[in-house]
Amino acid sequence: MKLSLDLPDFACPIRAYAPGRVTVGEEVLTRSAVVLPERILRDWPPRSFEELEAEHLLGLSGLGVEVLLLGTGERLRFPDARTLAALHAHGVGVEVMDTAAACRTFNILAGEGRRVAAALIIG
């Protein structure tokens, strides 16, 4: 699904999503990644929701974002509540959604100038 025809005013817009891939700018990602408005953190370790561990999310608390969008793959699934609580304790709001919704929401928030990151499970 193509997400936007407009040219955004940030460096790393998410242009398209399809199962198994996300297009950020002109780059096609086929492995889980963390997308920020100004950069991409490639090869984020979890390849699937089942591989997602607390440290994968807690390691993102130092990114300086106010909102972390967690894209859990093709369907919505929630990680352990203690992990989410730990992120909240670090001042990071977390929104959990399927990866397609996380991609759309990222573009909206980044376009508003919000400090946002999208941790996307792509595989």
Do the domain assignments include residue 40?
A: yes
Residue numbers of the domain that contains 82:
14-120
Do the domain assignments include residue 93?
A: yes
Amino acid 87: pLDDT: 85
Do the domain assignments include residue 49?
A: yes
Do the domain assignments include residue 31?
A: yes
Amino acid 114: pLDDT: 94
Amino acid of residue 36:
L
Do the domain assignments include residue 8?
A: no
The residues, ordered by sequence, that sit 6+ positions from 93 with a Cβ below 8 Å of its Cβ are 66, 67, 68
Amino acid 7: pLDDT: 55
Do the domain assignments include residue 41?
A: yes
How many structural domains is the chain composed of? 1
CB 90 within 8 A of CB 64: no
For the stretch 42-98, pLDDT in tens is: 989 999 999 999 899 999 999 999 999 999 999 999 998 888 888 888 888 999 999
CATH number, domain with residue 90 = 3.40.1230.10
Do the domain assignments include residue 4?
A: no
CB 13 within 8 A of CB 110: yes
Spatial separation of the C-alpha atoms in residues 55 and 123, rounded to whole Å: 19
